[in-house]
Structure 1
Amino acid sequence: MAANFIPVSLLVYCRPGFEPEAAAELIELTSMQGLTGQVKAVANEGFVQWLPADRNAFQRHASRLRFDELMFARQLLLAGDWIETGEQDRVTPVLNALAGHAGPFAELWLESPDTNDGKALSSFFKRFQPKLEDALRQRGKLPETAGANRPRLHLFWVDKQHCIPSISLAGNRSEWPMGIPRLKMPHDAPSRSTLKLAEALTVLMSDTELRERMRAGQRAVDLGAAPGGWTWQLVNRGLRVTAIDNGPLKGSLVDDPLVQHLRVDGFKFRPKKPVDWLVCDMVEKPSRIAQLIAGWLADGDARQAIFNLKLPMKKRFDEIHKCIGLIDNIMQRAGMPYLLRIRQLYHDREEVTCLLARR
C-alpha cells in the first residue's frame, strides 16, 4: 500500500441524507472486486464507512477501487482505525496511531462532515492543524513541500475527541477539501443554478477534456433554460445558445447576441442542425429526461449533453440504474459508443448530474 499506510476500511463523504445511496454503491463497487463486508452509516451524518470481512483481501485490492465509479461519494478514502483523544493532548494520540504508517504524505487535511456540527469544528482545525503539522514534520511524515504523487493524509473528525486517519491516492480522489469545489456565485448570473453547471464542467471532465470538448463558437441548446443560469454559464464560455423555455430569461441574457430565446416545448423542440452541446435542468421524471437526452444523441442532434435527473424520495439508487438502462438501450440500438458519467454534485439537491457524450 502506498506510503505504507495499512487501511482497515473505506470511508466516503456524501450529502447528508444520502447515506443509503452511498452505502449501496460502496457495496456494489467492492463486490465487483470480489470483496465482502458491511457498511456503517447514520442518517444525515454525511459519511459512510465500509468494513471488510477479510482485511487481507481488502488491502490487496483496495487501490483498485475507483473513485470515478461512485456517484454519491464526494471523497473516497482508505481508512485506519478510529482514534480517541483527550481534551488536553490531541497530538500524541494521533502521532501514536500514525506510528506504524511510514509516510511521507503529500499534505495533511483536517476534515469533518458537511453538517452544522461538522462546520462548528472549523475554528478548532485552524488552531490544531499547525501544531500537528509541526509534529508530523519532525517525525518525517510530512515534507516541507507537497508531493503531487504522494498519498494525502486526511484526518476526519466527527467531534473534537474522535477522528479517523485516512489516505487518498493521487489520481483516485477529489482534489477539494471535503470533496466540495469552492465556487463563487457570479454577481451577474440570473440564478444560483449556474453553479450546478459550473461544478459539473469541473467535476465531470478533466481540464484537458473540457478544453477539447467545449470551445468558444460552438452551438448549444438549453432545455428548460429560464431564468438562464445554465445559459449564462455557456455564453460566458463563448458558446452560442438556443434557450428553450416558455418562461422569461433575466438579466444580461435578454439582449445578449449569443442567445436565441424560443418559447416552445422542451420535449418537442429539435434543432435544424446538430449542436455541439445539449444541457437540461428541467423538473420532470428522471426516466423521461434520460430518454429525451439519449434520443438527441442517438438521432445525431447533439454530440454531448449535461443534464440533471431529479430523484424520487424513495428507491433513488434503483431509479438511477433504471435511467442508465434506458440510456444504454437507446444508444445501443443506434449503434453508438458512448461515455456516461454521473455524480451528485455539491450544488445539487435531490438530483444527480450526468455527462453523456458520443465517443
Structure 2
Amino acid sequence: MRAFNFCAGPASLPTSVLEQAQAELLDYQSSGVSIMEVSHRGDLFTSVLASAKARLRRLMQLPESHDILFMQGGATAQFSLIPSHFLHGVGAYINSGQWSIKAIEAAKRFGEVQVLASSEEANFSYMPTQASWDKLASNADYLHYTPNETIGGVRSPFVPEVEIPLIADFSSSILSETIDASKFDFIYAGAQKNIGPAGVVVVIVKRELLKTAKEQASPVFDYGKMLAADSMVNTPPTYSIYLADLVFKWLEEQGGVSAMEEINNQKASRLYSCIDDSGFYRNPVALSDRSRMNVPFILADDRLDATFLAESEAAGLKSLAGHRSVGGMRASLYNAMPLAGVNALTEFMRDFERRYG
C-alpha cells in the first residue's frame, strides 16, 4: 500500500499518473520503445511536448502574449538567469523567506539589488504588505517575489501592483490555485512539487519582456534562443516533460485548477484546524499569510519531535520533518496529496496528543 508522502520536494505524484507511466514504460503507444529512448526531435516526443504546452496553457489560462519554456537547472538556475537577462539598473526584491534570500544573493552578482521589504526580523512569519514597502527605485528593472515560501510556510495573500515587470517564483504553488497570469511578466517553477519529477523547470515569459533581455553566453540558458528552438537548443529532459504532461492531463480530469483550489483549501483548513484547536501543536505563521501548500508546526515539547517522526513514519505518514534550517514538523499538501492523507495525519496528531500531551 502506498504511504501518504508529505515531502516538500521531490513530492508525491498522483497514483494514476505513476500507473500510466509504469504501463507505458517499456512500450510507448505501441512504438516498441520507451518514451525515454526516442529522439527528442521525432514525432513521438514532439507530440508530447506540444501536448504539455497546450495543457499548461489551458490550465493556467495563459494569454497569447506569454510563452512557455521547459528548461533545466531548476528554479535555482533561474535565480541567476533572471538578473543576467533583465538586470540593467536595479533589481527589486521582496525578502519573505529562505528562497527569497537565495534569489537576492544570486542577483547581487549581476548588479544592484534593492530589498523593498523583509520579514526576516520576525523569522519570516508573515508576508510584508505592499503599504510597508520602501519606495521603489526609479531605475528598477523588475520586481521579484516568492508567492509561497516552501520552508517557512508563508503565502502572499495579494499580487503586487507595480508598473514594472513582475517576476514570481511559483515553484511550490503553481497550479494549486487560480491566478491571473496576465499580471505577471515572468513566472517560473521547479517541477518537483506540483508538476512532476525533478529535472525540468517551467518558465512562462511575456514576449514583450524578452525585448529587454541581454544576450547570454550559453544558448541553453538564453530565454530568447530557447523560445526560438521550442525549448530544444539541446536535448531537453524528455521523461520529466512526459510525466509533466501526464500530470497536466490528470489536473484537467480533476476539473482544472479551480477544482484543485477548492480541494487544497479543504486540506489546509482541516490541518490548520487540528493545529489551532490544540494546545499541543502550534503554527508560527500569521493567520492571513498561511500557506495552503506547506504547513509547518511545532510541538509544545520539542523533546518529543523524534518520537513524533518515528511513529508517524511507522503509521505510513512520510517526510514530516521540518526543513533543517527551522526544525519542527512540516506537512506539504501539494495537489497529489489526497484529502484522505490529511485525514490520516490529523487523526494521528490527535492520537499522539492524547498519548503524550
Per the shorter chain, which TM-score range? 0.3 to 0.5
Q: TM-score, normalised by structure 2?
A: 0.32
Greater share of helix residues, 1 or 2? 2
Bigger relative contact order, structure 1 or 2 (CA pairs below 8 A, ≥6 apart): 2
Greater share of strand residues, 1 or 2? 1
